[in-house]
């Protein structure tokens, strides 16, 4: 009988100890379109913790749970679908890492949607200590507050209005979404909550809309923030970054053109490279250059021959004159002289041939 009473007394003590545990949620203040974290903590767990299953919930529509982080001791863990206003969390301590009396159960990330306040509560489905005994902790809810950033503007949300951005390039982006209103447009800017550009009204079909933002006001590599808007409110803010612009194309016109430009477009440099380019057609070098100049110079003599029929004397005078002044010419013009002499000699020979024949 005495042993039975002792066993019951010990069990009562264990239950009382376990029941003294408390699960609390910390408070958090969030700016709209930003995030904050609230920690779920267990205290008074003198017999340790082997695992738990609980549900975390936020009241109101000003914030949503968007992420859950579990502590390192939770080797096995799971969380329900997010984002949501309520999520179920499960965790198991396989390595007996939590021996009490306190432990972090999870960290919730909340996203601020609209200015307002609410509570963050937890409901315990099951919780056991290291001996396998159930823990029935008390719970203390936390609170959250969503505020507007300094200098920001209140953008009341329109239920059912959404905005998504896709097909992003360096100069365009496609937007799509749903809307309960027949009138919708997009506002955007380069800072959260600050929009300096408004599109024209967009055609709505069957409660959905789509379109493309292109060129102005978009800049390659810039990050943008946007909302869909109707007369009854706005969507949640969406952000994206434009693709970076590609490298400017490099056009190579050749070393001669580059040298001509580097010489401040000197006419002598242009002449040299013109002769070189033309001479390459006839084999290059001095021979090719002389042939090229001869052909050009011969055009004038051919025209004179066609008009007068006999240009022997003018051509001979030209050969003598060029031969006299050739030593006096600058190197840049010596090739011209040689070319003219060759053209003149050819002209004399051709004229004599015509006379004989």
| Token pair of 95 as six digits | 């390595």
Architecture of domain 164-241: Sandwich (2.60)
- Answer yes or no: is pLDDT of 166 > 50: yes
Q: Do domains 2-147 and 164-241 have the same CATH topology?
A: yes
pLDDT of residue 217: 84
CA dist 63 and 316 (Å) reads 102
The pTM (predicted TM-score) of the whole model is: 0.47
Q: Which contacts qualify for 308-312: CB closer than 8 Å, 24 or more apart?
A: 310/351, 310/355, 311/347, 311/351, 312/348, 312/351, 312/352
Q: How large is the angle between the packed helices 331-356 and 267-280, nearest 10 degrees? A: 50
Residues 53/74, Cβ–Cβ less than 8 Å: no
The pairing of beta strand 28-31 with beta strand 142-147: parallel
H or E segment at 299? helix 285-308
Domains in the chain: boundaries: 2-147, 164-241, 255-356
- The Cα 170–Cα 168 span in angstroms is 7
pLDDT tens digits, 60-87? 888 999 999 999 999 999 999 988 999 9
The two tokens of residue 84 are 């949501």
pLDDT digits (tens, 9 = 90+) for 252-280: 556 666 666 666 667 777 777 777 776 77
61: DSSP letter: S
pLDDT tens digits, 7-66: 544 454 444 444 589 999 999 999 887 889 999 999 998 999 999 999 999 998 889 999
Instruction: Read off the DSSP letter of residue 348.
Output: H
Minimum mean pLDDT range among 43-47, 178-182, 292-296, 350-354: 292-296
56: closest CA among 114, 141, 115?
141
**Thinking of the domain 2-147, which architecture would CATH place it in?**
Sandwich (2.60)
Q: What is the DSSP letter of 163?
A: -
């Amino acid at each position: 009988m005495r042993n039975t009473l002792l066993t019951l007394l010990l069990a009562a003590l264990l239950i009382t100890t376990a029941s003294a545990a408390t699960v609390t949620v910390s408070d958090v203040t969030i700016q709209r379109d930003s995030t904050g974290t609230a920690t779920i903590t267990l205290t008074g767990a003198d017999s340790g913790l082997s695992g738990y299953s609980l549900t975390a919930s936020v009241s109101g529509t000003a914030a949503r749970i968007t992420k859950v982080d579990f502590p390192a001791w939770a080797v096995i863990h799971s969380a329900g679908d997010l984002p949501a206003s309520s999520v179920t969390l499960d965790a198991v301590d396989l390595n007996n890492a939590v021996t009490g009396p306190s432990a972090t159960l999870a960290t919730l990330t909340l996203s601020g949607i609209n200015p307002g306040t609410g509570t963050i509560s937890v409901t315990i489905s099951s919780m056991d200590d290291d001996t396998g005994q159930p823990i029935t902790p008390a719970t203390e809810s936390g609170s959250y507050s969503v505020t507007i950033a300094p200098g920001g503007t209140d953008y009341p949300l329109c239920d059912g209005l959404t905005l998504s951005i896709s097909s992003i390039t360096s100069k365009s982006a496609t937007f799509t979404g749903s809307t309960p209103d027949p009138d919708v447009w997009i506002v955007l800017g380069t800072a959260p909550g600050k929009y300096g550009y408004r599109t024209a009204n967009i055609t709505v079909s069957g409660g959905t809309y789509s379109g493309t933002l292109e060129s102005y006001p978009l800049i390659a590599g810039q990050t943008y923030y946007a909302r869909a808007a109707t007369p009854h409110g706005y969507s949640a803010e969406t952000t994206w970054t434009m693709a970076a612009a590609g490298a400017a194309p490099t056009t190579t016109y050749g070393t001669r053109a580059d040298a001509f430009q580097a010489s401040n477009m000197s006419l002598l440099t242009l002449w040299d490279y013109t002769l070189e380019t033309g001479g390459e057609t006839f084999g290059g070098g001095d021979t090719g250059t002389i042939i090229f100049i001869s052909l050009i110079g011969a055009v004038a003599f051919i025209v004179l021959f066609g008009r007068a029929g006999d240009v022997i004397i003018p051509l001979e005078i030209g050969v003598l004159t060029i031969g006299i002044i050739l030593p006096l010419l600058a190197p840049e013009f010596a090739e011209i002289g040689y070319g003219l002499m060759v053209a003149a000699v050819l002209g004399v020979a051709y004229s004599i041939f015509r006379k004989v024949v």
